[in-house]
Structure formats: C-alpha cells, structure tokens
Amino acid sequence: MKKLKVGVICYPSLGGSGVVATELGKMMADKGHEMHYITSSKPFRFLDVHANIQFHEVKIDGYAVFKYPPYDIALANRIAEVIETEELDLLHVHYAVPHAIAAALGKDMANSTIGVITTLHGTDVTILGHDQGLRNTVRYGIDKSTITTAVSESLRMETLELIEPKNNLITIYNFIDENKYRPVDPGTLKSDLGIGQDEKVIIHISNFRKIKRIPDIIISFKKVLKEIDARLLLVGDGPERIEMEELVSEFGLQDKVTFTGKRDDLPELLAISDLMFHLSEKEAFGLVLLEALACGLPSIATDAGGIPEVIEDGVNGFIVQIGDTDMAAEKALLVLKNDELRVTLKENALRTAADKFHSSTIVDQYERLYYEVAGSR
Ligand code: GMT
C-alpha cells in the first residue's frame, strides 16, 4: 500500500498529548510513513535522525502592531505552506484549541481537500468546553474535521454531551513505548534517594496542577504512615509545587516526602515503587497510569473521567471517590501490607498494558484511520 505523508500538529512541550503525538509519529515513521511536524519548537522526545520525520517550524515575528503575536494565524499559514510543498495526504491534529481551528484555516488557505483527524486529549473539552465561547470554537473544530477521536470512552461521551458536535467521535486509547516502559533493574536508585530498604515507596508523577489534587495525596500518605513506614516520592513540577512543599513542612513530613523535580528515569523510579497514587479530579486518560502498569506497578486512583478505563478496581489497582483520602489510605495499606496481593496486581498490571493498550494495536487503529481519511478525498 502507498505510504502516506502526514502533517502533525501538537503542543511540543512536555505533556501527555505531546508525548502521544511524538511516539505515534515515530512508530508511523518506522512503518514507512512520512511524518511532518508543524510546531513552534521541536516536540519533547523528538527524533532528530529519522529519515521519515521532518520538522517545520512555526515562526512568529513580534510586529509592533500586534499586542499579542497571532500564533494561530502563523500556524495556519505554515500548515497551508506544508500542505502544498510536501503534498500531504492528511493532517493529524492533537488538542482541539487552537490546532483544529488552525488546521481548518490552513486547509482553506491552501485551497485543499485534505482530510483532518483531530484527537481530543481532555482539557480541550473538560475545561475549555465549559466556556461558552470556547465551546463553540471546539464544536467548530470538530465539525470541520473529517474524523475526531477521543483518548477514552469517557471523554468521547463527555464531548458529545457538552459540545454537541454534528459529527460523531470514535475512541482510540493512548499507548506508550514498551521499549522504554517495562520492568527494569533500578540499580542503587532506592538507596541513592536515601530510602531505607524496608520503607515502602508510594509515587506520584504529574505536572503539579490543581486538578491533580496533590493535597489529597499528601493527606492519604500521612494516614498510611500511621501504620507503616513509607516514603512518598512526588515527581514532576508545576504551579502547585511551592504550596505542596509548605504543606509537607506544616505536617512535619519533610523526612518522609521527597520532591524529586522532573526526571527522565521514570521506569527506574517506578521500579523502586510499591504503589502509585493518582487522585485527580479530572483525567481523560492518565497516561502516567499506563506507564506505571507497563512497569508492573498498581495504582490507587480516582473515579474521574477515563481513569476507570485504565485502572480496573481490584484487578490492577483500586478506584476511590475523588477526595476520599480515608479510602485511598485504606486501599494503600491493603496493598502495601499484602505481598501476595501485590504480586497479583503486578501480574494483572502487566497484562492490562500488553492486552488492552499495546502500541501495536493502537498504532494499527490510527493507521487504518489515516488510510480511510486519505482515501476519502
Ligand atoms: O490538559 C492537560 O492536562 C494536559 C494534557 C496533556 O497534553 O498531557 O493531558 C491530557 O491528555 C493526556 C494525553 O492524552 C491524558 O493522559 C490526560 O489524562 C489529559 N489530562 C486531563 O484530562 C486533565
């Protein structure tokens, strides 16, 4: 079959949607497709030396007439140029605002009939969709797309209810790179972090935003400490970090809670952990939960958005209600005190990652969609 030329638009910064867009591009490029990233900077985890991957920078000049540099217009303009110069077969847009709108405009500017796939990642609907003006913008982006996908069934349903687009949506789950996320030997990492061999380790990884409810994690952990010796690793960085450091000091838990900052050695950190806490109030998918499963780590996670599609209660972790720190602590203690249960959860975690979310299955779903959209011109 003819190999395709695909224009990819995504947020290049660190974040789940950028990671998925980059990993998908790499795997499509390995299959022989030409992937053209049209972004403001090279995406995080971008592969510089792949014959089938190209980067087309979106440049924006700060003309004095503009109070705000019009990035969306510059993006649309660059999309139009790349559609023409590279003779693209389709566009794959990650995150509705402003990308789906810029794609529609770029396509129009190029006077092209190219197909557009928009992938919704979460807050483009679950937060922006609550703003009346942006809701109309998201609807416009979806209805201008040939096909829109959502990263979980929960997000698909929420989009249909909240945005009421004319077009239907399909669910394609996220995936991870199994070559990176797998059980690994962490070497001396546990002792390097000053953690005692008998201390149990609970890990949380995020961008430290309010919706992650990190105070709930610290409070649940404090309740766990009443019964067993443990360490909480808070991995990542973001707007809530300083407040969280203050909360940890207020509780006198400085020796028991370690803020690691952003780290690249996530598989090793997951390998020294016994449990993950992920107690968000909104989460379309929770890519980090899948990364943990693929490393054999169970999670205590909330009943929010698409999380129960990733964490199956009692199978590869436990689901608790948002804000229920008593139950989060209770379930954590159940897991941490029971070696046999941890082994079962670990086996199930590895199985879920391999059976339900394997990259080969998900990338094949996207590839079929690419051919469908390219063929429908
Ligand atoms: O909007 C965000 O929170 C960032 C966004 C991202 O770009 O990482 O996260 C969303 O997309 C991820 C990848 O599909 C999902 O794993 C996250 O659950 C989702 N975040 C939310 O729904 C809050």
Residue 183 forms part of a structural domain: no
Angle 118-124-127 from CA coordinates, rounded to 5°: 160
Number of domains the chain is built from: 2
Distances (CA, A) of 1 to 30, 116, 146, 376: 15, 20, 22, 15
The stretch 212-228 carries a mean pLDDT of 98
- Residues 243, 196 within the same domain: yes
Q: Beta strand pairing status for 317-320 and 53-57?
A: unpaired
**Nearest 5°: CA angle at 298, between 297 and 301?**
130
Q: Which of 39, 44, 123, 280 to mutate to test the pocket of ligand 1 (most atoms within 8 A of CB)?
A: 123
**One domain for residues 200 and 289:** yes
pLDDT score of 32? 97
Q: What is the mean pLDDT of residues 12-19?
A: 84
Distance 377 CA to ligand 1 centre (A): 31
What residue numbers bound the domain in which 221 lies?
Answer: 189-356
Which residue has the least CA distance to atom 23 on ligand 1?
A: 283
- Cα torsion 129, 242, 276, 338: sign: negative
pLDDT above 70 for 377: no
Mean local confidence (pLDDT), 196-208 = 97
Same domain flag for 233 and 342: yes
Ligand 1 in contact with 10 (CB < 6 A)? no
Do 109 and 23 lie in one domain? The reply is yes
Query: Stretch 364-375: mean pLDDT, rounded?
Result: 97
Query: What is the chain's alpha carbon radius of gyration, rounded to the nearest angstrom?
Result: 22
Residues 141 and 214 occupy one common structural domain: no
Question: 344 and 215 in one domain?
Answer: yes
Least confident span in 2-11, 112-121, 127-136, 289-298 = 127-136
Do 276 and 369 have their domain in common? no
Which residues, including other chains, have CB under 8 Å from residue 279's CB and lie 6 or more apart?
Answer: 212, 213, 216, 217, 220, 300, 301, 302, 320, 322, 325, 328
Both 132 and 34 in a single domain?
yes
How many whole angstroms from 151 Cα to the centroid of ligand 1? Answer: 9
Are 218 and 313 within one domain?
yes
Kindly state the helix (H) or strand (E) to which residue 363 belongs, with its residue range.
helix 359-375
**Confidence band of 353 (pLDDT split at 50, 70, 90):** very high
289-316 pLDDT, tens digit per residue, is 999 999 999 999 999 999 999 999 999 9
For residues 155 and 217, state if they share a domain. Answer: no
pLDDT tens-digit map of 139-196: 999 999 999 999 999 999 999 999 999 998 999 999 999 999 999 999 999 999 999 9
Q: Is residue 181 assigned to a domain?
A: no
% of the chain residues with pLDDT over 90: 87
Q: Is residue 47 over pLDDT 70?
A: no
Query: Is residue 184 included in any domain, yes or no?
Result: no
Judgement on whether residues 228 and 331 belong to the same structural domain of the protein: yes
Give domain status of residue 220, yes or no. yes
Confidence of residue 45 (pLDDT cuts 50, 70, 90): low
Q: Is residue 235 part of a domain?
A: yes
CATH number of the domain where residue 13 is located: 3.40.50.2000
pLDDT at 48 over 80: no
In short, whether 128's Cβ falls inside 6 Å of ligand 1 is no
